[in-house]
Structure 1
Amino acid sequence: MRVPYSWIKEFVDIDVSAEKVVERLNETGIEATFYPFGSRVENTTVVKVLSVKKHPERDRLLICEATDGKEKYQIVTAAQNVFEGAKVPLAKEGAKVGDIVIKPVKFGSIVSQGMFLSLEEMGVVEKAEGVFIFPEEVKEGEDPNRLLGLGEEQIIEIEITPNRGDALSVRGLSREIAAIFGLKRKEKLPVISIAQEEIPCIQFSTDKVHRYRAVVIKDVEVRPSPFDIQLKLIKSSQTPINNIVDITNYILIQEGQPLHAFDLDKIEGEIHVRPAKDGEKIITLDGEERELNHQDIVIADDKKAIAIAGVIGGENTKVDDSTKNILLEAAVFDNVSVRKTSKRLSVSTESSYRFERGVDIENLPNAQDKAVELIQKTAGGEAVGEKDIYPRPYTPKRIKLREKTTVRVLGFEVKKEQAKKLLNSLEIPTEIVEDGTVSEIPAFRAFDLEREIDLVEEVGRLSGLNEVSETYPKISTQSFRKSDEFLFELRTRDFFRDNGFDETVSYTFVDEEIYKVLELPIPPIKIKNYLLKTQSIMRDNLAVSLLKTFQHNLRFQSRNLKIFEISSAFFEDYEEIRLGILAAGSFVEGFGFTKGKERFSTEQNWDFLKLKGVILSYLKSLGLYDIEFRQTDIPYLNPYQSADIVVNGENTGYLGKIHPRKADVLKLPKDTYICELRLRYVPRELKENSADKKGYLFNLYKNRKTPVFRELPKFPSVKRDLAFEVDESLQVDKLLKAIKDSSEYVERVKLFDVYYVSESRKSVAVSVDFRAEDRSLSDEEVNSIVEEIVKKLQQQFEGLKLRSKEG
């Protein structure tokens, strides 16, 4: 926000340089700079245009005759806004405008004796269309530099943090400056009378409007604003339009209260503050057509939307030269709603900027009445009626500030009497209590001051934080305890780094195309204001990112890859921390050797079993041993080289080789292997307990069984090789588990052969070790155990036959 220092002085009697004011503002938490307004242009004067006619030889040029009251000048100009009687600044011969020295110049056969100036050429604004036109009351022959204050007026520009919306006005900034320098801010109260005529009915159908006040003013005359108002707006980087619109902008800057003036005669029926309809369109004041949705709030009449609440007005009810009656709106809209609409539509206005940061709801009628007063002075008219809808009046929050808290946080003592004085200087009503002060937070600081620590900050910054003496910090000797979740992820990282894997970090948002290729459902969480189409949705798995990373590496001829990532996958109601692994090509970059018939190679390539071995090693390093691999139906994996990973009976992830058709589409090597494990559940609600969620390794790791020491066996084992004929559809791992669980004497089961007897039958050969802890098993006992096992298996698996057994 930019404001002239002279405007601030109207609200606080201060005799301090702008430089000192800016220095103290920066010290107390408001980033500020200052600079002169424009630059003085010597040898200039105000002239009155006597006549305007077209250039006979140049279509786009005009020939103007002008006078400064003493001499007449012939000026050739391209400015199309000049007219007979206009008062404009003229740079005469010898004047220096920027890098140009003005001298008589011929345009065709016509000589121009000077140059009309725009605000841009006087160094006031970056871009201006047409020359600057002074109000009628300015006399020809006066000095434009003096009238505009060029090179003399100081402009103060501030940048605020989002919680300091109270400073975004002359009123708020003067309040801050008065408190800093121990002065009293002046208040100018409006003097108006409003008749009690009936005005259009106002109805709410949303809770996104906290206060809405409308005043109807009839019989106004729309014309240019008085020069002092125009000049203040120009110095605040605003473009004067007409007296009605200018006053709404003037009050916005002075009071921080956005206002909007509607042409009352263009409003059809009642006023409705309502959610927009999906697809509803409105042409706004900038001439753009904008499409709205139900999340946006609009001001509407019975037939159409006439403004986007808190953001920008509509073209269909704007004030123009023909306007006679106006409805002046002052409102406070929900800051979150305004921000979402502003960002989605890419429309940022002075009004939306303030609504997003908080507007003083209690000062609303005072600011609007000041606007009514100014309109009546500059445009005439009569205020015939007003309506103020305030559903939930503001109730001040009471916050206690204790002296001991101030000492503990700031490191120096601030007596409660001094705290009261400082807070009251900020216009925060404060009284002394036994151990400190109690403050009632006014509406203009409701977005900022919520807790005791906030008042500590206020007291500290006004006391002068730059005066705090240097002290050594107190450092606790107690070491910081890292969370179990952090240590678990660190252990996972260390395992894969130690096994030669490289960690990657990728964006958590991807494009829809990769999901279509992999035949996966498109995730529901989409980014509305994405910068790139390739980053438009939040991923719900890590495989899509790992495959993208592999594609990127292939562009640099890097085909041998073993990478992992620990990151988030997103779902509607929760998130998951996952481990993703991709392995491709060779993991040993060896060499081949050939000598006659002797040949060997030290290079080893990734395959399904090698990656499975890495995963098994990782899970066992966590103390998890009940691990199964079951058939999976993930569409982008090879059905014959893929599996779900089940730990303690819970599905925790999958691994597998990418399907050859998917590899072709993605232009990836066919020996690409993917694994994904669910590590942790992250709830959106803090109250939700994630400890009982199934299928997460962290929970299984936390609840793992404590390892128990077992003595070395004292008695020998007996080994039997058994071959079972079973149906082709039977999963071998189920058979192995059933054998292991069938007898207390079964110590180990190992698969060593599978071959097909016919198209529908297969033979599964296993090696089984039998052992008893208290004796040596005899062959007869083992034979009896085997018979019992076979009976149990035949009951569990239909069609199972024992083909052979060997001792």
Structure 2
Amino acid sequence: MDILTPWLRSYLPALDVTDAQLAEDLTLRGIAVEGTFPLEGGGTRYEMDITTNRVDAMNHYGVAREVAAIYNVALKPIAETAAVAANVEGAAYPVRIEAQDLCGRFTARVVRGVAVKASTGKIAEYFRALGQKPISGPVDVTNFGWLAMGQPTHVFDLDTLEGAIVVRRAKAGERLRLLDGSDKVLVADDLVVADEKKALALAGVMGGWESRVTEATKNILVEAAWFDPAAIRASSRRHGLHTDASHRFERGADFAAAPLANNLVTRLVVEQAGGEVAGPMTDVVIPALAAKTADRAPIALRVSEVQRHLGTTADGAGIREEIVARYLTALGCSLTETAKGAYAVKLPSWRLDLEREIDLIEEVARVYGYNKFANTLPTFTGTVVELPQAAAESAIRTTLRALGYSEAISSTFCAAEEAAAFASAPAVALGNPLSAEAGMLRPALTPGMATMLAHNLHRDVTTVRLFEMGTVFTGSTAKVNEHVGLSLGLTGDARATALYKAEDALFYELKGTLEAVLAKFAGVVTLDAQELPAWVAAGRGARVLLDGAPVAVFGELAAAEAQKRKLRQTVAMAEVNAAALLERALRQPVSQEISRYQAVERDFSFVFPDSVRWEAIEAAVRGLGVAELQSVAPVEIFRDAKGKAIAAGSYSLLTRVVFQSTERTLAEEDLTGSSARIVVALTGLGGVQRA
């Protein structure tokens, strides 16, 4: 948002630092000034980046409060005239809050006999400097109010109202035309400001068309209220509206600000449009919501804890007790001493982000200036204790990096349709999601992996090898289950070998990667093609079992999922239950002396039925117990599509066996006997030796 230094200085008459110094000091305190732009006639426009938890600083008076705390200068109150601030003769306008869980406070005041015209004076001057579009005096005044103190307000044409103001939930199907000209069909969860007959405004988001102030308006009702953040956020997103009002209400407005804002706007309406205030201000408060916001219980603060956490300052003096009290008081806290060096701190209504003692300690450090603390290492006793699963996690990461994979991190959230497509376990829905695309806690890592692969491919990075190890969430909002997951993704640079074609290369590369990872853990690895999820392309995936228990699934991404992401080349992914791996013991490497005697290779060419898998062939050879057997590996596989050289339903496999003794050079008779036993074993699997 933009902040004008002339407006700031109107609240800080004793401030004597330059705009440049002020910008630097604010930035060092977390109220970041990202750009400065000189104004005609003097002063500066700050382009500021205020974090979402600091809604209190999203206005000129909030920033001025920070400045007053930093420089220890007096802060002028928001101006009010006695005639407006005090009760005046007449009856208060009737207000009834029916949705008492969603509206905690509502103020209303009547101004009669106005003449609507263009804004003048400081409002017009500040709006020009900010690039704010002027509309009319009373409407500009409401915009001036939230720019000044952060509290959204609204003005109604009083003569369009029928009876009392009623704050209620909308009726399902109720229609409302808003100020932007759009017609909205409301749902029962929407909160509206209404009269006795109709809805007047979508509460906290936008006013209605029929009750808007125009040049013909003669009488005005000024409104300032507090609405529940979650309700406003839901309505804003449901109807595709994001306004200055909703931006602030969604983040938690100041419960105590409504009367002050109503007084300010009422005074300025009279200044800009004439007229007279008729009757006192109506102020309806719901105590239960006030207790959660403006009337929160005090926080215990110990100065010794402030000093312990913050340590030594650059000047060596440390944080003294009077500094703690001064800073917190300047920020709006009320301190009551409960013991020597201990206080009960009453929190300001505008700082909903303060909840614990450590939050107050952080505020002291922030206002004092992080750059003013000495560079010291924290005290430490004891030793660093490695987490029980650290070695296993390191083994997985090291193996994958060695195989050419880069570690990546994806979002913890995903869309509901992605959760359903990539995981069989129930996903956990968020109460207040950032968007429809981030409405669920991820039940698997594969949705994020697919997104990352697509992100690379859409930016012409055609060869990608990624892995992610992170937490996945299943269950319900009542009980969330967390465990560690592992996801792998690869695409591009798929090369044929003697064992498989280029179109199968990604599948077999991913299979080999998983085997390399699982080889780090104790257990027997097997594969099958049962119970594959829908995201795996038909006939292009497999399930990995460790000692008979499923631990991973992998395969090529199904065409439907690839089309959603506009992927034009094959993508392969794997989802691994890393938690199951981390419970197992790591294999311990064992070294042995290298044989000084020559190794001898023997090749065996057999035709096998398609039902015979490699793991059975390898097990049959190794199961012979030949002491000199060093390795057995497939070298070449061949199928004849026409069924001439090799019958349909069969394949030819060239297997290479390596023999080597650690005690002597092997003689031909040794090799002949072992080879004959291997031929018998492979024949027993249904194989036919080729000549």
TM interval, short-chain normalised: 0.5 to 0.7
Give the Cα separation in 2 of the matches to 1:461 and 1:664: 49
CA offsets 1:224-282 (integer angstroms, 9 cap, x no match): 44534433444454343333223323333333322101112223455443445677654
1:457 to 350, 362, 367: 362
Q: How much does 1:569 deviate?
A: 6.3
Distance 1:351 1:512 in 2: 29
Q: Does 1:400 align with 2:300?
A: yes
TM-superposition CA deviations, 1:255-313 (whole Å, max 9, x none): 33221011122234554434456776544323344566566533234554432322222
With 292-301 and 543-552 compared, the bigger mean Cα shift is at 543-552
Match of 1:164 in 2: 54
Q: For residues 149-191 of structure 1, what are the alpha-carbon distances to aligned partners after superposition, in whole Å with 9 as ceiling and x for unaligned?
A: xx24555665433333333444434433333333333334442
Q: Equivalent residue of 2:154, what SS?
A: strand
Return the offset for 1:347. Answer: 4.3
Cα distance in structure 2, aligned partners of 1:448 and 1:662: 41
Count matched residues: 573
Question: Which amino acid letter does the alignment assign opposite residue 164 of structure 1?
Answer: R
**What's 2:267 paired with?**
373
Which structure 2 residues correspond to residues 1-20 of structure 1 after superposition, within 5 A? 1-2=1-2, 4-14=4-14, 16-19=16-19, 20=21
Partner of 2:523: 624
CA distance in 1, matches of 2:436, 2:135: 36
Deviation of residue 488 (structure 1)?
3.3
| Distance (Å, rounded) in 2 between the aligned partners of 1:538 and 1:278 | 32
Which stretch has the larger CA shift, 324-333 or 656-665? Answer: 656-665
What residue identity is the alignment partner of 2:345?
E
CA change 1:570–1:459 in 2 (3 A) is closer
Answer 1 or 2: higher relative contact order, Cα 8 Å, separation at least 6.
2
RMSD: 5.5
Q: Distance in 1 between matches of 2:55 and 2:445?
A: 41
SS at match of 1:183: coil
Aligned pairs for 1:509-520 (under 5 A) are none
**2: distance between equivalents of 1:21 and 1:551?**
41
Which residues of 2 match residues 751-762 of structure 1 at below 5 A?
none
Does the Cα contact within 8 Å between 1:163 and 1:357 map onto a contact in 2?
yes
CA distance in 2, matches of 1:554, 1:403: 55
Give the aligned partner of residue 322 of structure 2: 417
Per the TM alignment, residue 14 of structure 1 is displaced from its structure 2 partner at its CA by 1.4
**Structure 2 CA distance for aligned equivalents of residues 448 and 550 of structure 1:** 38
Structure 1: where are the runs of 5+ without partners?
39-150, 591-599, 681-695, 708-730, 737-807
SS at the partner of 1:238?
Answer: coil
Structure 2 matches for 1:346-495, cutoff 5 A?
Answer: 347-377=241-271, 378-384=273-279, 386-391=281-286, 392=288, 393=290, 394-408=294-308, 409-412=310-313, 413-468=318-373, 470-474=374-378, 480-485=384-389, 487-495=391-399
> 1:31 aligns to what?
32
- CA 616–30 in structure 1, closer or farther in 2 if over 3 Å, else same: closer
What is the SS of the residue equivalent to 1:316? coil
Q: Is the 8 A contact 2:529 2:542 kept in 1?
A: yes
The answer on whether the counterparts of 2:486 and 2:575 sit within 8 Å (CA) in structure 1 is yes
Determine whether 1:542 maps to 2:450. no
Corresponding letter in the other structure for 2:114 = V
| Pairing of 1:562-711 with structure 2 (within 5 A) | 566=469, 573=476, 577-580=485-488, 589=497, 618-619=517-518, 621-625=520-524, 629=528, 631-632=530-531, 634=533, 644-647=543-546, 650-654=549-553, 676-680=575-579, 696-699=580-583, 701=584
What secondary structure, in the 3-state scheme, does the structure 2 residue paired with 1:395 have? coil
Q: Aligned pair in 2 of structure 1 residues 267, 180: CA closer, same or farther (>3 Å)?
A: same
- Structure 1 residues 276 and 572 mapped into 2: Cα distance closer, same or farther (>3 Å)? farther
Contact 2:32 2:49 in 1 (8 A): yes
Distance 1:251 1:518 in 2: 49
Residue 273 of structure 1 aligns with which residue? Answer: 167
Corresponding residue of 1:84: none
For 1:250 and 1:660, how far apart are their aligned partners in 2? 54
Contact 2:204 2:249 in 1 (8 A): yes
Is structure 2 residue 184 aligned with structure 1 residue 184?
no
**Aligned partner letter, 2:361:** V
Letter in 1 for 2:285: Y
Which range is displaced more, 299-308 or 519-528? 519-528
Task: Quote the residue 2:626 is aligned against.
Answer: none
Q: Distance in 2 between matches of 1:359 and 1:586?
A: 56
Asked if 2 retains the 8 angstrom alpha-carbon contact of 1:263 and 1:325, the reply is: yes
2:331 and 2:156 mapped to 1: Cα distance?
35
Deviation track 1:776-796 (CA, whole Å, cap 9, x = no partner) reads xxxxxxxxxxxxxxxxxxxxx
- Using the size of structure 1 for normalisation, the TM-score is 0.57
Identity of aligned residues (%): 26
Write out per-residue CA displacement over residues 571-605 of structure 1, whole angstroms, 9 at most, x where no aligned residue: 57456624447799977757xxxxxxxxx999997
More displaced 10-residue stretch of structure 1: 455-464 or 306-315: 455-464
8 Å Cα contact 2:205/2:232 also seen in 1 = yes
Q: Do the aligned residues in 1 keep the contact of 2:555 with 2:572 (CA within 8 Å)? A: yes
Structure 2 distance, partners of 1:266, 1:336, is 30
Aligned to 2:217: 323
5+ residue gaps, structure 2, are 590-610, 617-691
Question: Residues 428 and 288 from structure 1, CA distance in 2 versus in 1: closer, same or farther, beyond 3 angstroms?
Answer: same
Q: How far apart, in 2, do the equivalents of 1:336 and 1:657 lie? A: 41
Q: Deviations over 1:109-165 (max 9, x none)?
A: xxxxxxxxxxxxxxxxxxxxxxxxxxxxxxxxxxxxxxxxxx245556654333333
The offset of 1:329, in angstroms, is: 1.0
Question: Which residue identity does 2:152 align to in structure 1?
Answer: P
* Residues 605/643 of structure 1: CA separation in 2 closer, same or farther (3 Å cut): closer
Give me the whole-angstrom Cα distance separating, in 2, the residues matched to 1:662 and 1:15.
Answer: 60
- Judged with a 3 Å threshold, the aligned counterparts in structure 2 of structure 1 residues 478 and 291 are, in CA distance, closer, same or farther, namely farther
Provide closer, same or farther for how the CA distance between residues 542 and 475 of structure 1 changes in structure 2, counting only shifts above 3 A: same
CA contact (8 A) 2:491 2:569 kept: no
Q: Distance in 2 between matches of 1:362 and 1:513?
A: 42
The Cα shift of 1:330 comes to: 0.6
Question: Which amino acid in 1 is paired with 2:305?
Answer: T
Distance change in 2, residues 1:643/1:262 (3 Å): same
Return closer, same or farther for 1:502/1:291 CA change in 2, 3 Å cut-off.
Answer: farther
| Alpha-carbon shift at residue 368 of structure 1 (Å) | 1.2
**Pairing 1:28-427 to 2, within 5 Å after superposition:** 28-32=29-33, 35-38=37-40, 151-152=41-42, 155=45, 158-187=48-77, 188-191=79-82, 192-195=86-89, 197=91, 199-205=93-99, 207-276=101-170, 282-289=176-183, 296-302=190-196, 304-339=198-233, 341-342=235-236, 347-377=241-271, 378-384=273-279, 386-391=281-286, 392=288, 393=290, 394-408=294-308, 409-412=310-313, 413-427=318-332
Comparing 438-447 with 603-612, which one deviates more in the overlay?
A: 603-612
Tell me if the contact between 2:145 and 2:264 (Cα under 8 Å) persists in the aligned partners: yes
SS, match of residue 414 in structure 1: coil
**Mapped contact 2:486–2:577 kept (Cα < 8 A):** yes
Secondary structure of 1:315's aligned partner:
coil
Is contact 2:543–2:553 with CA below 8 Å preserved after alignment? yes
Tell me if the contact between 1:344 and 1:529 (Cα under 8 Å) persists in the aligned partners. Answer: no
Q: Secondary structure at the match of 1:443?
A: coil
What letter matches 1:350 in structure 2? D
Q: Distance in 2 between matches of 1:414 and 1:506?
A: 40
| C-alpha distance in structure 2 between counterparts of 1:647 and 1:202, whole Å | 66
Q: 2:14 and 2:459 mapped to 1: Cα distance?
A: 66
